[in-house]
């Protein structure tokens, strides 16, 4: 009798867990019946896709093709145990939801749970309400044309020139061997975001450049000498990277709540890293407040977004809460994370496309030679941003479309609503696929759903590219050019930054970063085609969809690199001083 108790207990436990973790499906919407009867739902299938190929976003698109429907439901206990997760892949419906239906479908509480781990007061986790709009009003000042032209552009160009210098040194020391590009790109975009947000210099690129120059001179760099003050940027970057790694675990783990608790209370390296990062940021906030209240305020234009935000907040006394020290640190951390990860991933994909298609690369370079000033010196940020470069615009848009760096948006029904003809109850988690990672031309939307408002009003929406040549699964920047050779931003349906009030806040800055970085890199380097083993297109999905294999072989263009990097660059105060926890 006793041996029978074990299998009986296992069966009871199995069905008890299934009852707890798997909610009832929504009627009329496709789902995987086998997953519905398992206590882990679709989590096992999703996990296999991640551990086998490093991909998560593609899994949602392949499920859509499997069900032959633009709307389906999945059972993911880590997202929700009270309701199945609704997935919508129809482009017109996604656009309608993010632009017109914010009152009934808002940003998911899951975003607050994830980003609240590092930035509890950040706008990315806020519902659409008074606090969110007040916070956006204050921070919108960093998107003004004056700030973008006077501060953001020059900061990005200075960082891009530092990357050019770093890669020119590496190209000489590695004797034409491919270099791993993603790490340097993440450093560069983080440096740029530090400069425009805080008016401070992290110094990681300069430290790398200094080490390479010392090595060229034959100086041996002992580990304990690497850095008296130079080591501090490494310490900050190490701590910041550790917090991002922990955030990846929280977003991809089985239980975000459990992972957050473990890291906050039991994992002392994270506690130390978070303390160091917040101490560095708090020092910058204190300096900005001191400058705002001192004689320097009227003497110069703010050199950072933080100073501009504090200055604008004085216009509305009721905004004191959203510019508290904790709120400012949270928003800065959120912007640092989202601002450098997404852009670095997109530029990494762009370099792969340039190397694999030399025709595209040469056409891009020829356009820059034709329209930018004839000089060996790298063009200024103002020249890059104001010059008409249609093929560069087309290349950037095609890179964003084809790479699908951020193809997903998490939403939640805040009241009963209708999606593609189906009644969706309140508090249902919704995953919107703003881009199709598989690049398939799916036309299997059921006929009875084409009467949905989004499809009735879709005559003025951009076409989805189904009638373009070549097909969407091919990288082809020319699809964004009209018959006159001009750039047409509506040539193909694409939502790389989502849209609407809850779309990407920093999309303007991201586009500036991509335009300036790519212009500076292509102006100074030719990227050689790599062997098949180093030019794969696998992805590693986390906060963004980044290339799992990102190598580049930058070959300096004669007479360009030396002149470009010898130009004077604005030096900012260092971010890191003796504030790191011992």
**Do 166 and 205 meet the contact criterion of CB atoms below 8 Å apart?**
yes
Alpha carbon distance, N-terminus to C-terminus of the chain: 61
Residue 580 has pLDDT above 90, yes or no: no
Whole-number Å distance between alpha carbons of 242 and 244: 5
Residue 372 neighbours by CB under 8 Å, 6+ apart? 379, 383, 384, 387, 389, 519, 523
**Do 60 and 12 meet the contact criterion of CB atoms below 8 Å apart?**
no
Residue 129 in 3-state DSSP?
Answer: coil
- Is 504 labelled as part of a ligand binding site? yes
Whole-number Å distance between alpha carbons of 246 and 554: 33
Q: What confidence score (pLDDT) does residue 22 get?
A: 81
pLDDT confidence tier of residue 519, bands split at 50, 70 and 90: very high
Beta-strand pair 545-547/417-419: unpaired
Residue ranges of domains in the chain: 140-406+496-565
Phi-psi domain of 243 (left: phi exceeds 0; alpha: psi -120 through 50; beta: other): alpha
Q: What confidence score (pLDDT) does residue 224 get?
A: 44
Cα distances from 271 to residues 11, 232, 235, 261, 460, in angstroms, run 41, 18, 14, 11, 51
Residue 559 neighbours by CB under 8 Å, 6+ apart? 376
> Nearest Cα to 44, choosing from 31, 35, 32?
35
Q: What confidence score (pLDDT) does residue 49 get?
A: 86
Q: What confidence score (pLDDT) does residue 372 get?
A: 85
pLDDT confidence tier of residue 582, bands split at 50, 70 and 90: very low
Whole-number Å distance between alpha carbons of 140 and 303: 16
Instruction: Tell me the pLDDT tens digit for each residue of 337-389.
Output: 998 999 999 999 999 999 999 999 999 999 999 998 766 688 999 999 999 99
pLDDT confidence tier of residue 17, bands split at 50, 70 and 90: low
Instruction: Tell me the pLDDT tens digit for each residue of 490-513.
Output: 888 888 988 888 888 889 999 999
Residue 209 has pLDDT above 70, yes or no: yes
Whole-number Å distance between alpha carbons of 333 and 281: 9
* Residue that wins the pLDDT comparison between 177 and 482: 482
Least confident of 48-62, 235-249, 404-418, 451-465: 451-465
- Which tokens belong to 237? 């970057």
Whole-number Å distance between alpha carbons of 288 and 310: 8
Residue 68 in 3-state DSSP?
Answer: coil
Whole-number Å distance between alpha carbons of 73 and 426: 15
Whole-number Å distance between alpha carbons of 22 and 34: 12
DSSP letter assigned to residue 372: S
Give all strands (DSSP E) within 415-566, no chain letters.
417-419, 422-424, 429-433, 525-527, 539-541, 545-547, 551-552, 554-556
140-406+496-565, which class in CATH?
mainly alpha
Least confident of 7-11, 56-60, 165-169: 7-11
Query: Residues 97, 103, 104, 105: what is their CA dihedral angle, to the nearest 10 degrees?
Result: 50
Whole-number Å distance between alpha carbons of 288 and 295: 12
Give all strands (DSSP E) within 208-325, no chain letters.
none
Residue 367 neighbours by CB under 8 Å, 6+ apart? 389, 390, 391, 392
Whole-number Å distance between alpha carbons of 425 and 103: 14
Query: Residues 535, 536, 540, 543: what is their CA dihedral angle, to the nearest 10 degrees?
Result: 50
pLDDT confidence tier of residue 581, bands split at 50, 70 and 90: very low
Residue 471 has pLDDT above 90, yes or no: no
Residue 76 has pLDDT above 80, yes or no: yes
């Amino acid at each position: 009798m006793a041996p029978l108790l074990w299998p009986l207990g296992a069966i009871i436990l199995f069905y008890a867990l299934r009852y707890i973790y798997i909610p009832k499906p929504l009627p009329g919407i496709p789902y995987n019946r086998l997953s519905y009867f398992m206590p882990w739902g679709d989590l096992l299938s999703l996990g296999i896709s991640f551990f086998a190929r490093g991909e998560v976003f593609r899994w949602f698109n392949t499920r859509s093709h499997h069900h032959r429907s633009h709307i389906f439901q999945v059972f993911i206990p880590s997202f929700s145990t009270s309701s199945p997760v609704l997935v919508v892949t129809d482009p017109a419906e996604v656009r309608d939801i993010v632009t017109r239906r914010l009152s009934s479908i808002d940003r998911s509480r899951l975003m607050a749970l994830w980003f609240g781990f590092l930035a509890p007061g950040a706008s990315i986790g806020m519902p659409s309400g008074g606090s969110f709009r007040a916070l956006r009003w204050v921070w919108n000042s960093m998107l003004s044309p004056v700030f973008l032209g006077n501060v953001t552009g020059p900061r990005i160009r200075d960082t891009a020139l530092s990357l050019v210098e770093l890669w020119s040194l590496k190209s000489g020391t590695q004797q034409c061997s491919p270099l791993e590009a993603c790490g340097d790109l993440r450093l560069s975009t983080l440096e740029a975001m530090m400069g425009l947000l805080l008016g401070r210099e992290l110094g990681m690129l300069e430290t790398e450049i200094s080490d390479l120059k010392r090595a060229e001179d034959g100086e041996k760099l002992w580990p304990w000498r690497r850095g008296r003050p130079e080591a501090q940027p490494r310490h900050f970057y190490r701590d910041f990277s550790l917090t991002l790694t922990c955030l990846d675990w929280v977003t991809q783990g089985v239980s975000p709540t459990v992972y957050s608790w473990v890291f906050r209370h039991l994992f002392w390296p994270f506690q130390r890293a978070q303390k160091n990062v917040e101490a560095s940021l708090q020092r910058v906030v204190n300096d900005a407040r001191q400058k705002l209240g001192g004689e320097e305020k009227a003497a110069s234009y703010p050199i950072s977004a933080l100073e501009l935000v504090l200055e604008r907040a004085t216009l509305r006394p009721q905004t004191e809460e959203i510019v508290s020290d904790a709120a400012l640190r949270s928003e800065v951390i959120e912007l640092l994370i989202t601002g450098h990860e997404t852009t670095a991933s997109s530029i990494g994909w762009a370099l792969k496309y340039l190397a694999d298609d030399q025709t595209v690369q040469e056409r891009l370079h020829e356009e820059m030679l034709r329209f930018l000033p004839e000089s060996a010196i790298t063009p200024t940020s103002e020249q890059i941003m104001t010059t008409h470069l249609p093929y560069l615009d087309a290349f950037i848009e095609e890179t964003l479309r084809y790479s699908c760096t951020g193809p997903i948006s998490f939403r939640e029904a805040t009241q009963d609503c209708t999606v593609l003809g189906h009644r969706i109850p309140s508090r249902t988690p919704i995953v919107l696929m703003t881009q199709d990672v598989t690049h398939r031309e799916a036309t299997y939307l059921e006929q009875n759903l084409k009467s949905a408002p989004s499809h009735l009003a879709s005559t003025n929406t951009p076409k989805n590219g189904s009638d373009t040549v070549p097909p969407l699964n091919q990288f082809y920047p020319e699809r964004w050019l009209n018959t006159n050779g001009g750039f047409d931003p509506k040539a193909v349906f694409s939502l790389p930054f989502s849209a609407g009030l809850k779309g990407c806040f920093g999309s303007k800055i991201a586009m500036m970063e991509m335009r300036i970085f790519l212009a500076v890199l292509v102006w100074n380097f030719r990227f050689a085609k790599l062997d098949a083993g180093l030019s794969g297109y696998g992805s590693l999905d986390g906060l963004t969809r980044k290339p799992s294999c990102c190598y580049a072989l930058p070959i300096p263009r004669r007479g360009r690199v030396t002149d470009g990097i010898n130009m004077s660059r604005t030096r900012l105060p260092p971010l890191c001083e003796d504030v790191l926890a011992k």
